[in-house]
Amino acid sequence: MWRNQFIVDEEIKVQLSRLESKKKELDAHRPLPSFIVEKIKANLALEWTYNSNAIEGNTITLRETQLILEEGVTVKGKSLREHFETFNHHKAISYLYKLADATEPVRGIDILKLHEIVLNNIEEHYAGRIRTGNVRINGANFTPPTASKVSELFDDLVEWMQTNPEGLDMISLATLFHHRFVWIHPFFDGNGRTVRLAMNLLLLRNGYPPAIILRADRKKYYEALNQANNGQYKKLQLLMIQAVERTLNIYLSALPGSTYEYSTITSIVEEERLPYGQEYLSLLARQGKIDAYKEGNVWYTSKEAVESYIIGRKRKRKV
């Protein structure tokens, strides 16, 4: 069984509080103008499809993903499977948003349906079905449970997610669900794509925008999951918080009269007289200690976020 050493320490609590404040601000503007919502959802679905597939080894680029989905183009040199993975994931997102409007808790049947869509025309025999054989994962520091235990573990996980017996906040619940799902590894194929959809169904049901794990963070993502297998969740917590905050920032920046202005860390260092250099600010961003988000390999933050961190440091020194 997984090691349950999930701790929300003070550093994580500060970041969760920042997320909650941003969510409240976004909620205060609901219902959002439909043209804003549809544009953001379309852009997010495109990059979500690209990043989730790329994490699993799909070689279709972001631009090629757009051409496939918006213009029906077949990309030369890319396999039929990679094309189906692109179509399927995008279709699964559309289904996910329909599920997000429901009022009942996330059900096991919903997750199975998402998996079925993900593997449509790829692994039809396994699509939407719990695995019936044992598996091993290359590069992982654990062996998933035997097939005879998977169905019960999957049902227990869904019930745990529905009841949330520890009373976790939604970000922490989604983070822990994500790890436990990967540990169970309920399917022969498509586990990664499915869990990154299912955890977002949980977030969407609770008013958060989707958390998109970026391809650029692939190595860090797998390292975080391996650390979680040893009961060390902080790296995965930080990755999840950063992913949620990034999409919250996208929504907030699109609101009429928005004051959310983000620039690259490089440009802020060049334009402002700061006591910190680019490398240190990038480290603070990776650790979640300043309000920041990532696009590709580039970190974005704001002058206000850096100033807030400086003020906080000065206060600590006076105490």
Q: Is the peptide bond before 31 cis (omega within 30 degrees of 0)?
A: yes
Query: Cβ-count burial of 218 within 10 angstroms (0-12 exposed, 13-18 middle, 19+ buried)?
Result: middle
- Is residue 115 among the annotated active site residues? no
Specify the residue for token string 């799902």. Answer: 181
Read off φ and ψ for residue 164, nearest 5 degrees: 45, 60
Nearest alpha carbon to residue 251 among 209, 214, 202:
209
Q: What is the DSSP string of 219-240?
A: HHHHHHHHHHHTT--HHHHHHH
Read off φ and ψ for residue 48, nearest 5 degrees: -65, -45
CA distance 219 to 55: 9
Q: What angle do CA 180, 198, 125 make, to 5 degrees?
A: 90
Sequence-ordered alpha helix ranges (H) in the chain: 10-28, 34-55, 62-71, 80-100, 108-118, 147-163, 170-184, 191-205, 218-229, 234-254, 265-271, 278-286, 303-318
Tokens representing 288 are 């979640």
Distance from the first to the final alpha carbon of the chain: 43
Tokens representing 120 are 């449509």
List active site positions. Answer: 185
